[in-house]
Amino acid sequence: MSLGTKGVKDATRQARPLVELAVKVASPQGLARRDV
């Protein structure tokens, strides 16, 4: 994969809100889902 540093930073910046949202959504269900 030949992603430049700028591409990595852009991807990280775009993914961060999605990760935070996923954590918020999954936290109540995280325990049940993690046991599976």
pLDDT value at position 5?
A: 87
1-31 per-position pLDDT tens digit: 566 888 889 988 999 988 888 888 777 765 5
What is the amino acid identity at position 19? V
Q: In the structure, what pLDDT confidence band is assigned to residue 33 with cuts at 50, 70 and 90? A: low
Handedness of CA 2, 8, 11, 16 (dihedral sign): positive
Query: Contact, 33 vs 26, CB < 8 A?
Result: yes
